[in-house]
Chain A
């Protein structure tokens, strides 16, 4: 069964430093998509970045990049030059290629709470 694991319940980072949030996944599909979302304390879910299983390049979006290691089944989020506004919960999610009766649902990890220190 598909599964997402985020092993870091909480992390601290100093402002302006880079931080890596870990995500490993398990799927038997060859075709899948990986997503990262940010949930600030206000509660909304904000889409950050996407990586497809067939993408050869690591995805980047501004200060966010995804360190995709397919053989290890890991999709770690790297945030460069952390800002105070980056303090939030971060969720890794996966979507499998085969639809069938699964639709296009996302499977989420348990999240990592990031705190940025001034």
Chain B
């Protein structure tokens, strides 16, 4: 158990819809990262928050947004969903942004767009 909690584990929805993925980091971790894993793109970094502030953006679509709340949990919002958004979405947390600090991943949310 990594200590990172992601909900829901599975999500099935239709094109054009909007969903929210939730992440609770490990106790004490200030950094939250979101990644997308798909068969064609592999594991791709989406966005990083540190203590409530956005630190970096990767290949995140404009239809996607995220935030980190004062209690440090984070949400990833995906809107106007397309078939190609079907993927496994991971949240990871770490104590900071130091090189030596591993990112601990949640179990992921598997999103299926029908």
Contacts and interface: CB of A to CB of B under 8 A. Distances in A.
Q: How large is the interface on B (under 10, 10 to 19, 20 to 34, 35 or more residues)?
A: 20 to 34
Interface string B98-109: 111111111110
Interface in A95-118: 95, 97, 99, 101-111
Interface residues of A, number: 30
A32 B42 contact: no
A43 interface: yes
A107 B58 CA distance: 11
**Interchain residue pairs A-B with the least CB separation, the first 3:** A103-B56, A45-B105, A103-B48
Interface of B: 2, 31, 33, 35, 42-43, 45, 48, 50, 55-58, 88, 90, 92, 94, 96-108, 110
Interface of A: 31-33, 35, 37, 42-47, 50, 52-53, 91, 93, 95, 97, 99, 101-111
